[in-house]
Structure 1
Amino acid sequence: MNKTFKIYAVIFIIIMVILALLEVSKKEVTDWRKNFDVNEKSPFGLFVFNKEIKDLFKNNFTKIDVTPYDYYSEKNKKPHNILVVESEVDQESWNKILDEVSKGSDAMIIATRIPKNISDSIGFYNSKISFEEQNVLKLTDKKYQNDFIELDKFPSGRGFSYIKPNVQVLGKTVEKNNEDQANFIKATFGKGNIYVHCEPLFLTNYYLLKSGNVKYAQSIFSYLGDKETIWFVESNTKESSSLLRFILANPALKYAWWVFLGGIVLFIFFNVKRKQRIVPIIEPLKNTSADFVKSIGNLYLQEGDFHDMMAKKAQYFLNKVRLDLLIDTQNLDEEFSKKLQLKTGKSAELVNEAISLIKKAQDPYAGVMKEDLGRMNKLLDGILK
């Protein structure tokens, strides 16, 4: 072991010891971000709610990690309850939710922000904000007058700025220095009902773990009927089970991991200057495949058999469609055309013209010309790009 290696090894060990001491001595900081993540145990995560939701809905509950648009495009369900809690919902999914409600389902949206065109459809305008440090969430129904929750940590202070006459106010935010403002409403939409609550903090770990606060959540969900409840949870909130996540979550394994990476760096550093043998120059093998293809192409041009060339091109294209796009090519009908349009994004005119030329190529008695071959070749290559 030479002197240089010893010096670098000592420096590396000192650095790792300093990092370990800093890691051990650092104080754990509470994460107060409003993440509303079902796997987060931080104050404003939904870990507790995720564990208790089955009891709230008496096990008649399903958690879905796809968008409402994808879910309802594949399934037709009888009237049910829809739950969305502070999630990013796209416009098409909102339309699907409203469509389900109009058929008789009930939806409960617990979110601070809802797209304006959707809120206008339900019957309220965008929520207003106050900046009080504390407030109280109460329900307006007399039978729930003892069910309330006090928000003493970072309340959003949101309330509805305008509510249409046909919308019923079910809950309000009470503040010391401001007028009461509605935060929980009910609107009839078609055959169903939509419930909107603009303060999702009452479902977070910090508030649900406080004595007596669960009662408020139970009262909120009691407005939903005794039907199956579908909770749409964003798929990106699913917990990762990767090996690296497990290693970094355990301090002992994390230190071992950093020591291992440091050792790899040292190994690379001391071996980068190794002597390398002279690499002999080897002539690459000649690509005879290109010459073969060129010869075959010239042969077809000399023979002028454009019909056979079109047939082979059509056969190759249909094989690619089966393997790459997973579309059945047995029948080149309207259904095949629509599937090809959807999966390639090409226009109906181009796809139909290409199918027409393929059928012509497959007809042994059809008369074809050089222009037909050129046009079909251009169309099929363009579709598969």
Structure 2
Amino acid sequence: MSGLKKYLIISTVLLVLYLLAQYFKPKPTNWAPTYLSEDKIPFGTYILRQRINDIFPNAEIKKTQKPVYNTLKEKLAGTSNYLIIASKLKIDKLDYREMIRYMESGNNIFISAFQISGVLPDTLKLDISSDFNMANKQEKSGINFTNPALHKNGNYYFDKGVSQQYFEKIDSVKAIVLGKKEDNEANFIQYKFGKGSLFIMPNPQLLTNYNLLKPDGLDYASKALSYLPKAQTIIWDEHFTRPDSEDTSPLRVIFNNPPLKWAYYIALFGLLAFIFFEIKRRQRIIPVITRPSNTSVEFVKVVGRVYYQQRDNRDIAEKKVKFLFEYIRNKYKLRTLDLDQEFKEKLTNVSDADPQTIENLLIEIYHLKKGQMVSDQHLINLNKVIEQFYKQDQ
């Protein structure tokens, strides 16, 4: 087995073993807070999206990735609730102005985010803070609703710091506190605008899959969302959780999956190594190739030496006459069997050779046909008169 085949077989076996090991190993939990409605990871919102109609029966769920201003500019028939769940969001002047108009006409907005920036916190005098302690992630603090009808005896407790955010500063004149931490800090508030309201919760992870799988989490989320009145449409905002333009690269699936990404790198490295070593092994000094020489002259010299050594002048003379007759027959269509006066006159009339040259040519051929011995001088004279005829007949 050649070295190349061994290299390919070993590389293929190692790559297949690695892919199998990566495929069958336990997949680590993805704790990334995406808040996307199709994500089933702990901090996705798949469960909320599937069960939200339990809270709002017959409501149409409409997803949007447009900015708040563009979404609210599209007037919807009937009443609606606008739901925003994200890590952070920024509301500018146009967004805020359209939000005010939207709520004053009888609609409601529910925002749950860790960070809120832009015009909204400045106008409403909001400041969000957290008492999450990285040194003690298991620390829990209770939260509860202020409404006696929703208040739970013993508070709600959640791990992983999902309820540690609170409002460090609020406008106590306009803000209605709907929920508090056990240390009396507000963590769920409401602002009224005309016929509608704005609800703000600084703990979006209370609405994620991780929390809704627990009885306390499901109970708390359903009570918090129950503050929204029944509406014909629920607008599910994904503008702050999904990039404006998704990655369209054909390799996005590979690079988004760590095992596939490393397998891709290994295969690419193996290919580059193979190319490098094959170039090094196969490269040789390019030999100098001489130009092909014209051997026609050498061939003629060899044939000439053979005839010269045999000294067969008659054979040479007969061949030259034979070639001459072939030339005359092909060019002038004359019969060459009888070299009589008629042939001489026809050849003189049709060819460009001098009559004297033709006369000398026929005399030399006549002597050759008489069967006399062909001397060197006779052969030379015959060759000269034939060449002279060719030259004049051009």
TM-score tier after normalising by the smaller chain length: 0.5 to 0.7
For each residue in 1:213-255, what CA deviation from the matched residue of structure 2 results, as whole angstroms up to 9, or x when unmatched?
A: 3222121111111223212123439999998677899999999
SS in 1 for 2:243: helix
For each residue in 1:262-306, what CA deviation from the matched residue of structure 2 results, as whole angstroms up to 9, or x when unmatched?
A: 89768977997999xxxxxxxxxxxxxxxxxxxxxxxxxxxxxxx
For each residue in 1:285-330, what CA deviation from the matched residue of structure 2 results, as whole angstroms up to 9, or x when unmatched?
A: xxxxxxxxxxxxxxxxxxxxxxxxxxxxxxxxxxxxxxxxxxxxxx
Kept in 1, the 8 Å contact 2:163–2:206? The answer is: no
Unpaired stretches in structure 2, ≥5 consecutive residues: 134-138, 284-394
What is residue 33 of structure 1 aligned with on the other side?
Answer: 32
Q: 1:214 aligns with which of 215, 218, 231?
A: 218
Kept in 1, the 8 Å contact 2:89–2:117? The answer is: no
Distance 1:264 1:199, change over 3 A: same
Question: How large is the Cα RMSD of the aligned pairs?
Answer: 3.9
1:126 corresponds to 2:127: yes
Distance 1:99 1:51, change over 3 A: same
Displacement of 1:210 in angstroms is: 1.1
1:143 corresponds to 2:149: yes
1:85 corresponds to 2:73: no
Counterpart code for 1:161: E
Displacement of 1:18 in angstroms is: 5.0
SS in 2 for 1:151: coil
What is residue 168 of structure 2 aligned with on the other side?
Answer: 161
Q: Matched residues in 1 for 2:51 and 2:252: separation? A: 26
What is residue 243 of structure 2 aligned with on the other side?
Answer: 236
Counterpart code for 2:237: F
Q: How many residues are matched?
A: 270
What is residue 53 of structure 2 aligned with on the other side?
Answer: 54
SS in 1 for 2:191: strand
1:188 corresponds to 2:201: no
TM-score, length of structure 1 as denominator length: 0.58
TM-score, length of structure 2 as denominator length: 0.57
Q: Matched residues in 2 for 1:219 and 1:156: separation? A: 15
Distance 1:191 1:157, change over 3 A: same
Unpaired stretches in structure 1, ≥5 consecutive residues: 276-385
Kept in 1, the 8 Å contact 2:143–2:163? The answer is: no
What is residue 387 of structure 2 aligned with on the other side?
Answer: none
Q: Matched residues in 2 for 1:34 and 1:136: separation? A: 22
1:198 corresponds to 2:199: no
Distance 1:128 1:263, change over 3 A: closer
Q: Matched residues in 2 for 1:103 and 1:52: separation? A: 27
Q: Matched residues in 2 for 1:95 and 1:267: separation? A: 63
1:170 corresponds to 2:169: no
Q: Matched residues in 2 for 1:212 and 1:63: separation? A: 28
Q: Matched residues in 2 for 1:118 and 1:77: separation? A: 26
Distance 1:98 1:272, change over 3 A: farther
Counterpart code for 1:157: Q
Counterpart code for 2:197: N
Distance 1:51 1:237, change over 3 A: farther
Displacement of 1:93 in angstroms is: 3.0
Q: Matched residues in 2 for 1:206 and 1:94: separation? A: 31
Identical counterparts, % of pairs? 30
Q: Matched residues in 1 for 2:116 and 2:257: separation? A: 39
Q: Matched residues in 2 for 1:59 and 1:241: separation? A: 35
Counterpart code for 1:130: D
SS in 1 for 2:42: coil
Displacement of 1:258 in angstroms is: 8.7
Displacement of 1:209 in angstroms is: 0.8
- The structure with the largest alpha-carbon Rg is 2
1:69 corresponds to 2:76: no
Distance 1:84 1:208, change over 3 A: same
Q: Which runs of 4+ in 1 moved over 6 A?
A: 237-275
Q: Matched residues in 2 for 1:217 and 1:237: separation? A: 28
Kept in 2, the 8 Å contact 1:38–1:237? The answer is: no
Q: Matched residues in 2 for 1:238 and 1:48: separation? A: 25
Distance 1:244 1:225, change over 3 A: same
